[in-house]
């Protein structure tokens, strides 16, 4: 066998091993969600019993609804604020306190989540805010804003500012010129920023444990409380449904982006 063929087979083997390492546990989780046995390590046959049990678990469904609602709302707030912050950094030049502004935005990227969550908790206590759904949304929006800013800023820097200049020459206001000329160009990055913020909120456990309160338990917190007592296939079922929701959202976003590129 020629060395080039051996090298090609080695590359494919390494690629397959990498995908197996990354997605093998997810595939096992999905398969075990259809396990008839209560023991997750013992296959007892194919069954949808745990999906039926999940539909009857009001606390788990309420936690899932809370996580989805908080993720959708906080991602929207984070994306809007991230867009405004990216515009300020990319279009306003060297304004006063720019370094402090950029540092405040990028700080959550390197700040441990425990410190970030504790700081938000102390802030909410100082302001006299009762912890609940509102504080959870504020915390997740604050945390995800920096990620949204980084994603949108990278796309905005590559966007030609002459498009806005041409629009203003034709009589459009700066805000209208940005909306009509630049925003459609960076729309894929805005969608990506929203999906990233949504995923970060849906996945978060540490910050939510500091900033949420009774009546606003998130799904990761609920799953953690159940796992401490033993892993149930019901947890695999809710995880599989979440994977399906995220995969559907990513597929829709990819199709929309591809269609926009073809139209453009």
3-state helix/strand/coil string of 156-197: HHCCCCHHHHHHHHCCCCHHHHHHHHHHHHHHHHHHHHHHHH
Residue 43 covered by a domain:
no
In a domain, residue 21? The reply is no
Whether residue 88 is contained in a domain is answered as yes
DSSP state of 38: S
Question: Which residues are within 8 A (CB) of 260 and not within 5 positions of it... i.e. 6 or more apart?
Answer: 187, 188
Token digits of residue 244: 């399906």
Task: Give the residues across from 46 on adjacent strands.
Answer: 35
Q: Is residue 39 part of a domain?
A: no
Domain of 135, CATH number, reads 1.10.3720.10
Q: Provide the residue range defining the domain that includes 146.
A: 49-263
Average pLDDT over residues 17-45: 82
Judge whether 82 and 151 are in contact, CB under 8 Å: yes
Q: Tell me, what's the pLDDT at 2?
A: 62
The verdict on residue 33 lying in a domain is no
| 86 in any annotated domain | yes
Task: Tell me whether residue 216 is in a domain.
Answer: yes
In a domain, 95, yes or no: yes
pLDDT at 263 > cutoff 70: no
pLDDT digits (tens, 9 = 90+) for 48-106: 888 888 888 888 888 888 998 999 999 999 999 999 998 888 877 677 677 888 888 88
pLDDT value, residue 189: 86
The model carries a pTM of 0.81
Counting the structural domains of the chain, the total is 1
**Interatomic CA distance for residues 214 and 176, integer angstroms:** 44
In this prediction, residue 145 carries a pLDDT of 92
Task: Read off the pLDDT of residues 187-205 as tens digits, 9 standing for 90 and up.
Answer: 888 888 998 899 889 888 8
Identify the pLDDT of residue 157.
83
């Amino acid at each position: 066998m020629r060395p080039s063929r051996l090298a090609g087979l080695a590359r494919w083997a390494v690629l397959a091993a990498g995908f197996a390492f990354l997605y093998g546990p997810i595939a096992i989780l999905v398969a075990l969600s259809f396990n008839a046995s209560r023991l997750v390590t013992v296959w007892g046959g194919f069954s949808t019993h745990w999906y039926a049990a999940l539909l009857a678990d009001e606390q788990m469904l309420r936690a899932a609804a809370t996580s989805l609602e908080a993720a959708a709302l906080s991602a929207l707030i984070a994306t809007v604020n991230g867009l405004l912050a990216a515009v300020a950094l990319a279009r306003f030049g060297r304004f006063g306190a720019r370094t402090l502004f950029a540092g405040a935005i990028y700080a959550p990227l390197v700040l441990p989540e425990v410190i970030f969550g504790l700081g938000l908790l102390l802030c909410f206590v100082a302001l006299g805010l009762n912890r609940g759904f509102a504080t959870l949304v504020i915390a997740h929006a604050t945390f995800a804003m920096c990620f949204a800013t980084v994603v949108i800023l990278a796309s905005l820097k590559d966007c030609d500012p002459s498009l806005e200049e041409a629009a203003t020459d034709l009589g459009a206001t700066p805000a209208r010129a940005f909306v009509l000329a630049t925003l459609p160009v960076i729309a894929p990055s805005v969608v990506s920023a929203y999906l990233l913020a949504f995923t970060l909120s849906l996945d978060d456990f540490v910050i939510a444990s500091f900033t949420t309160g009774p009546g606003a338990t998130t799904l990761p917190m609920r799953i953690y409380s159940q796992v401490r007592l033993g892993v149930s296939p019901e947890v695999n079922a809710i995880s599989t449904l979440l994977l399906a929701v995220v995969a559907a959202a990513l597929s829709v976003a990819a199709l929309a982006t591809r269609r926009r590129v073809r139209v453009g």
